[in-house]
Amino acid sequence: MADPPPARLPLANGGSMPVVGYGLYQMDEEEAERSTAVALSCGYRHLDSASFYGNEAGVGRAIAASSIPREELFIASKVWTDCIGLGAHAVRHSVEVSLERLQVDFLDLVYVHWPVPGKHVEAYKALEALVAEGKARGIGLSNYRVADYEELVASGITLAPLVNQIEVNPFLYRRDAIDFFQDKGMAIVGYKPLLRGKAVTDATAIEVARKHNVTPAQVLLRWGIQHKFAVLPKSSQAERIDSNLHLFHFHLDDGDMATLDSLTTKDSLANFEAHFTKRSVADPSCPTLGDYAPVPGGGGGAEEAAVAAAQSGR
């Protein structure tokens, strides 16, 4: 018997997203094109992209070749930290380049990729303008902690964020933070749900998988869905791409869920905090930035000087 259609997660703007998305991190352009084509043929309709991934042109070619109606797709992208740091014009440029490369007229969701200190609020407000222009249908946060969210809301934004995309899996289940964002009406989208493949060899995941006659990957993804997260599995192997979408023919019982919840340790939480600090303060540049030209008269001399320095490698 075929699986029922993948469930959708409601969003606060009245829309919804498929709970299983296809993650596109760490693929070159050709691999992204090939793998996206496979994912779309398997039934994925949620594509999670980002300017920093450097492969959006390949994703766009696969979307165009699929002939799937645009309204059936949920396409997300993200603005990287260097463009966030350079201000509103660079944020706008990043989104416009993503639209061009993806060969679409609008994004269903556009994320602030990281809450760059002192800069993420301006970036968010620039995205609000793009929503008003119809270039995006909603705004998401990525890697935001509670304090970052509270700073954003206190700034007087006009559109509430729909989503917080964070790393979440049974080995990094930040229950209090997740409960906070869900209580605010935000959907949680989990990246690295399989720990880049490492989690599928965990003895607990294997044991639960045997109980349900499914794969460990399916158990880990189903765990996220039953916590009401959207999940973003990533694979370039056709068989795994397909099986990662088939998550609705079994159910984890309360004991399974509690066992999987318990896999998060104090060490994993501490490692997350160290990673967050490193990534939010010092990041590599985004492939989009090389295309950026300051708008004459826009952003002021300081911003234009910063752009020139970034483009020259200083």
The catalytic position among 22, 25, 44, 53 is 53
User: Partners of 165 in the beta sheet?
Assistant: 142, 189
111 a catalytic residue: no
Question: What's the CA gap between 268 and 254, in Å, rounded?
Answer: 23
**What's the sign of the alpha-carbon dihedral 96, 304, 286, 57?**
positive
Binding positions for substrate are 113
Catalytic residues: 53
